[in-house]
Amino acid sequence: MHASSQFGAIASADLMPTIELAERPEAQGKDVAVAGVRKTYKNTVALAEISLAVARGEFCTLLGASGSGKTTLLKIIAGFESPDSGSVRIAGRDVTQMPIADRNIGMVFQNYSLFPHMSVFENVAFPLRMRRLNHDDIRRRVGQALDLVSLGELRQRLPRELSGGQQQRVALARALIFNPDLLLMDEPLGALDKNLRQTIQLQLKKLHHDLGLTVVFVTHDQEEAMNLSDRIVIMDQGRIVQTGTPDALYLQPDNPFVAGFLGECNFIEKPGCIVGVRPENVRIGAQIGDSDLRHDGQIIAATFCGMHWKLFIKSHNATMIAYAPVAGASSASFEPGRTVSWGFAAADAMEFAVQ
């Protein structure tokens, strides 16, 4: 693939760019399959029999708290760790024992891992030099890549002379310039401030679309996962808890863990089961329909969130969270100490079996 098409999306990063979607080309990425992978460190089980297939061109996010095993899984796919058992296949080829350098995987590291003693140009040229490309090709391709990520002017700078966002773009250019079969990203946006993160998320999504990259992305930020992913894999204690599209996971979580991890959720214990209700489905006062379940509670606190009021209601020795519409409400109507009635439609309740 031609370098210019790869970097079409990454314009000057610090402003939200106008984005035009290109025709989606033949997917450049390959599919990845992890089968029965197990990894233990001394006495701790980091991964317990993980199997996961990522399709060509899919943006798949591993989401979990620290210690959930998401980074270990990523490192096994990259080849930085070898699994105790199980296999990793890229495009059907078993790469479990293959040296990292031969796997043709692009990786963006958490702290970017730019070589501190090399200029921006040399960093991006590095994979091409390792692949013994001739001098002119390297200069041309790196030049194009840097121009397209708007870093052409900075090609002679050292990494420490760049801002966080610029370093991020160098890391991305370096990971993509050799047309990898797979792009792995280990919490790559963690070090950036919120606005910049959003801009880069959008560019990443566009890049993924335009190039048909296969991306495995690791994060602990559920909002980032929902923004970016075709599919989210939720991990906990070395296991996959549930996989699915962001909306499927949000609307039909398999268990209370997923419901609580992805977005906010109220849990109500019932004999034999647990009922989960999203705060946006909790109705207050006059909104409660005739057929709804109805309870009384006391407002503990109310915060204004722009889209809605967020209410904390004490009821049956538990604290419920409810989003109340902004229209027709004021801080006086949610004064702490007031008694309110709350309820929800049976259809909005998510029922989980007690584990």
Is residue 221 within 8 A of residue 234, CB to CB? The reply is no
Q: Counting every residue, how long is the chain?
A: 355
Terminal CA-CA length for the chain: 50
The nearer residue to another protein, 167 or 315, going by C-beta atoms, is 167
**CB of 272 vs another protein, minimal distance in Å:** 45
Q: Please report, as residue ranges, which positions from 32 to 61 form the binding site for another protein (by CB under 8 A).
A: none
The nearer residue to another protein, 68 or 71, going by C-beta atoms, is 71
Tell me which stretch binds another protein (CB under 8 A): 11-19, 59-67, 93-101, 247-255: 93-101
Q: Which of 130, 248, 346, 354 binds another protein (CB under 8 A)?
A: 130
Rounded-to-integer distance, Cα 324 and Cα 321, Å: 10
Give the x/- contact pattern for another protein in 167-196, rule: CB under 8 A. -------xx--x------------------
**CB of 229 vs another protein, minimal distance in Å:** 22
**CB of 97 vs another protein, minimal distance in Å:** 11
Report helix, strand and coil shares of the chain as percent, to nearest 5: 30, 30, 40
Give the chain's count of helices (H) and strands (E): 9, 18
**CB of 102 vs another protein, minimal distance in Å:** 8
The nearer residue to another protein, 157 or 310, going by C-beta atoms, is 157
**CB of 140 vs another protein, minimal distance in Å:** 19
Q: SS3 of 31, please?
A: coil
Is residue 232 within 8 A of residue 63, CB to CB? The reply is yes
The nearer residue to another protein, 80 or 304, going by C-beta atoms, is 80
Burial 11-32 (b: 16+ CB within 10 A, else e): bebeeeeeeeeeeeeeebbbbb
CB atoms near residue 167 (< 10 Å)? 22
**CB of 184 vs another protein, minimal distance in Å:** 8
Closest CA to 184 of 224, 215, 159, 213: 215
The nearer residue to another protein, 111 or 163, going by C-beta atoms, is 111
Rounded-to-integer distance, Cα 295 and Cα 56, Å: 49
Contact call for residue 156 and another protein (CB under 8 A): no
**CB of 34 vs another protein, minimal distance in Å:** 16
Rounded-to-integer distance, Cα 254 and Cα 330, Å: 37
Give the x/- contact pattern for another protein in 72-91, rule: CB under 8 A. ---x--xxxxx---------
Closest CA to 258 of 289, 230, 235, 225: 235
Give the x/- contact pattern for another protein in 95-114, rule: CB under 8 A. ----xxx-xxxxx-xxx-xx
Q: Which residues bind another protein (CB under 8 A)?
A: 75, 78-82, 99-101, 103-107, 109-111, 113-118, 126-127, 130-131, 174-175, 178
